[in-house]
Every structure is written in C-alpha cells, then in structure tokens.
Amino acid sequence: MKFELTILGSNSASPAFGRHLSSQVLNIGQNFFLIDCGDGTQNRMMNFKVKATKINQIFISHLHGDHFFGLVGLLMSYGLNNRKEPLHIYSPPGLKPIVEIQFNHELGYPIFFHETNPEKHVLLFENTSVKVFSIPLVHRVPCHGFLFVEKRRPPNMIKEKILEYQIPFNKIKDIKKGANFITKDQRVILHKELTKPASEPRSFAYCSDTEFSKEIIPFISGVDLLYHEATFMHDLLEMASKTKHTTAKQAAIIAKEAAVKKLVLGHFSSRYSDLTPLLSEARTVFENTILATEGIPIVI
Amino acid sequence: MKFELTILGSNSASPAFGRHLSSQVLNIGQNFFLIDCGDGTQNRMMNFKVKATKINQIFISHLHGDHFFGLVGLLMSYGLNNRKEPLHIYSPPGLKPIVEIQFNHELGYPIFFHETNPEKHVLLFENTSVKVFSIPLVHRVPCHGFLFVEKRRPPNMIKEKILEYQIPFNKIKDIKKGANFITKDQRVILHKELTKPASEPRSFAYCSDTEFSKEIIPFISGVDLLYHEATFMHDLLEMASKTKHTTAKQAAIIAKEAAVKKLVLGHFSSRYSDLTPLLSEARTVFENTILATEGIPIVI
C-alpha cells in the first residue's frame, strides 16, 4: 500500500527562490490528505498532477495566512468542478467565518468544519487504514501538528500454503483474522503456519510551526518520517525563540531524541537562497536528514 | 517610456493546463499597476520576477474568487517584507471586511480601500503619467473593467536646435511647455521650430468578466491594446449568455467595432486544453488578435 508524501510548498511567510508556501499531500493507499494550504496550493497541485478531487480531509495547523490562504481557492474550484463528496476540514477555531465571508453562494457540496483544540493530543480522524492525531505545538497562535499512523493490517497468506492445503477462497478472510484451517481429512493447520505478518504500520508526523519543544517527543517517537520546521539556522537562535520557530539544529535534536527514522526539514526563511547550510547543520546532529523538495514524492 | 503588460494568469474559475487565475501587471514608466489578483498571484510574480514591491495601486474587477483570492497572501507578504508605502486598492464594495477578517494583526503599512461604483465610467486614479478609468461591465455580480490612458507628454526638444541656437539647459523646461526662445542677438525662435511632438499617448483596456456588451465600445474606442475575456467558443453562445461571459467571436466583434489596435483574448474556460480554435475564431472577425500568454510581456 502506498504511503507517500508530496511537499507542495516548503517556504515560510512568503514565496521566495522558487519555493512556495506550506502545503503537503499525503497519499495513504489512495486516501489523499491535504496538510496546510498556503496561497496558490491549487496551482501547485496542477503543476504536480496531484489528484485534488480525491482529497476528502484537509488538516490546517494554524491560522497564519501562509498555511491557509490557498484554501478558499481550492474550495471554490471543487464547487466549479461539481464536487459532491463531503469535505472535512480540521483546524483551530476561527476558520469557518473566514471561509464563509468569501462566498456569496453555496458551493454545491457539504463542508464540515471540525474545530480542534490545539492544546490536546487527540484522535482527529480515522478510517479503515489510518488514524490521524493532533500534536500540540507552541507557536504565536494556537497551533498543532498532525500524526498519521497506519493501522496494523491483517497478516498476509502464504501462497504456497494455499496450494499445499487447497484452501478455498472463502476461508481466507477468516484465516487472516486468526482462524485455523481444517483440511478435508480433519487435520488442523494452525493460523500461524498459513500466514506471515504484514509489514509494520508506517507513520508520518508534521510539526510546523513551532518553537523548539521536547514536549512533542512522546507523540512522535519512532515515526518513519518527521517533517519538522527549520525556519532558521542556529546562529539565529534568538530570532527563532522570539518568533516561536525552530532552528535546523533544534529540529535535528528533536528527531534524534524521538528516534525517528528520517527527518525532512522545511518552512525555510526567505533569507536563505541556498539551503545546504541548514542541511549540514542538522546532519551534525541527525544524519538521516533531507531538505523538503517540492513536488518530488517521499516514499515512506 | 515603458508601457508593458505582463499577464500572470489567463484562465477562468480554476487553474488548468498550466494556466493560472486572472492577474496582470501593467508597467507604465516604472509605475506598476496590478489588475486582479487570483489565487497564487504572488507565486506568479516570483516566477516572472515582477517587482511586486513597486506596486502601489491594485485594481480588482469584481469579487469572484478567481479574481481576488490571491490578494490577502500578497498583502501579508508586503507586511512581512517591511513595506511602509501606502497601498491603494480599488474594487466594488465588499472587499474590505473580507481582507480584514483574515488578519489578526496590523500589517505595518496603510491600506486604502477605494470602493468603486461599477455602473459608472469614472476616473479612479491619476498621477503624472497616467489616468485610470472604470469601464462598466455586465456580469453576475457588480463588475467593471479598467482603462489606462497615458497622459500626453510635452514635446521633445530637437537636439540639433539646442546646439544651433546654444539654448541653455535652464530654458528647456519652458520651451517644452510652449515658450519661444530669444537668442543673444534678440532673434525670436518659435517653439514649434525647436520641438517635435511626443509620441501619441498609449492606452490599454481590461474587460473581464463581462457578457457581450456593445455599451463598452465608446469607452474603449481606439485603444492600443484591449484585453477582453473570451471564456467560450461561439458554439457555446448559450452557455456564455447564461453565465454572462463572452465568446471569442464576440470579443473580436467588440475589438472591431471599437477599432482597437490589438486584441488579446483571455479568461479561458478550463474545457479548452488547446486554445488555437479560439484564436482562429476571433481572427475571422478581427485579424490582429493574440492569445494571452502568461509571463511574456506585451509591449504597447
């Protein structure tokens, strides 16, 4: 099953140096989730051929414009393209009136605004394949990240055993759930002989925007991929603290202490045309770090 | 003096086929005017290296999202980039509360919202080099276009005459304004012998969105460049009428009857991947027609 992240925008505040504003699409087995929606996000989707129509859940981290100003354009386009499926938007309180004042007509599909409590680590959404939790962050306005955790899938059948014991198709569902198989000659074949465990559930954590906060470590411990904001280099630590942002080094400390598998840095300040110093800085602490690169999917 | 139009977005409603939402920058002698501001306009400015900071006047035709949803992102970026210059925004009534609800803080520079009356053809703005007028249009919501008319410049001095009569520098301003020149030996040299007329004032009209309306012809008569919406081909005339848009053929009829010098078609429907049929259709009526091409300046 696919578990793939496409970053549409990696810059903070304003677009610069060909980098765009915060937005990502996570594809978990053809369930598409949009995370933040900076100005021009629908253009980025067009550029990268993202299947915007397949998005049914949008998660907004906080109400700073560079994280949500692209939302109304996307909502309007859904209406114009005759969307009928409900759309669910999760965000801190305050988004609904901002959206509603901008439309003087019905959009033609239901929009559900789910107001979150950014101070809580709670389950926001789940379906058959994934659970999405909020991660409390510390920023200048109420803000949270998001943790996407794949559900453990049932074990896989071992093909050779199906042939060996001539297992009929209609028994497979039960065996995957844990049943043993009884052959025609009444032999009991144990479940564990017939199956192999599915691959470990994968996970992705999105942490932007936030000041350096070790409070998040329990929530993101061991995730396969952590996107953490790294607005500044560490020489601008004072600026980072003042604006409640994180340095590249601090993001790497979080990644290391949370023992994540991979770190992707993003939400870069417009002062940096070349990002390699941020990458180098983070790698001195946590080697398996990459820079957010817009439009190139990261397979988890 | 430069008089140059850069189209940032040429599509209607939603981005499609690499085309973006309505926005244009007109450069008249390094005065930069922004006309409409669809979602993602600031990204387009970055792409085409438009000097966004030099824009002091923004003209919004109407309050459909594809013409103004990019505005708040641009306003926010101006604030983040420490803009201090006042910004003037001209639009039909209703824009101010939409903008203001989206910011929970001061942007750090003054914004003046000028509410227009879309039913009137009036002077909206003038400076030393240009006048900007509204053009009443007929659309589903209050809507106007914009007419930019260069002011007639003073005549140019003939360089050879300056040498011939040894005209001192401090006399030139008066001569340009119409004074004669008196030589040391008291000969009167007539103004008209010393100067040649400046080139004719240039003009640009922006007409989008609108149904086919000959009412606009007196306002745009003889302009150097007319941008007219051409949302549909003429076989969809009924759809055009119903949605109060124009067909390519109708845009060309307006151009012809108004005797404009050049027509540029834009605001294309997302149903057209190939626009050449629209161009061909318009050229059967008005030969000097081009298609809006994003990012390639049109020199007027």
> Exposed, middle or buried, A51 (CB in 10 Å: 0-12/13-18/19+)?
exposed
Q: Which parts of B1-54 are beta strand (E)?
A: 3-9, 23-28, 31-37
> Could you tell me if A66 lies within 8 Å of chain B, comparing CB atoms?
yes
Cα gap B158→A32, rounded to integer Å: 68
The chain A residue lying nearest B66, using CA atoms, is A73
> Could you tell me if B108 lies within 8 Å of chain A, comparing CB atoms?
no
- CA A127 vs. chain centroid, Å, equals 15
Asked whether residue A122 carries a pLDDT value surpassing 90, the answer given is yes
User: Same structural domain for residues B277 and B183?
Assistant: no
pLDDT of residue A105: 79
User: Same structural domain for residues A110 and A176?
Assistant: no
User: Same structural domain for residues A185 and A291?
Assistant: no
| Residue A263: CATH number of its domain | 3.60.15.10
- The interface predicted TM-score of the complex, written ipTM, equals 0.91
| Residue type at B190 in one-letter notation | L
Q: What is the mean pLDDT of chain B?
A: 96
Which domain does B63 fall in, by range?
3-153+199-299
Asked whether residue A104 carries a pLDDT value surpassing 80, the answer given is no
User: Same structural domain for residues A54 and A191?
Assistant: no
User: Of chain B residues 260-289, which have a CB less than 8 A from chain A?
Assistant: none
Give the number of domains in chain A.
2
User: Same structural domain for residues A35 and A182?
Assistant: no
Q: Do β-strands A3-9 and A298-299 pair in parallel, antiparallel, or remain unpaired?
A: antiparallel
- Interface contacts A/B by beta carbons within 8 Å: 97
User: Same structural domain for residues B106 and B190?
Assistant: no
pLDDT of residue A201: 96
Nearest CA among A5, A15, A57, A79 for reference residue A267: A15
Asked whether residue A155 carries a pLDDT value surpassing 90, the answer given is yes
Distance of residue B230 Cα from the nearest chain A Cα, in angstroms: 18
> Could you tell me if B141 lies within 8 Å of chain A, comparing CB atoms?
yes
User: Same structural domain for residues B292 and B147?
Assistant: yes
Asked whether residue B104 carries a pLDDT value surpassing 80, the answer given is no
Q: What is the mean pLDDT of residues B188-199?
A: 93
pLDDT of residue A233: 98
User: Same structural domain for residues B101 and B141?
Assistant: yes
Encode pLDDT of A11-36 as tens digits.
999 999 999 999 999 999 999 999 99
Distance of residue B237 Cα from the nearest chain A Cα, in angstroms: 19
User: Same structural domain for residues A109 and A164?
Assistant: no
User: Same structural domain for residues B114 and B181?
Assistant: no
User: Same structural domain for residues A281 and A139?
Assistant: yes
User: Same structural domain for residues A128 and A183?
Assistant: no
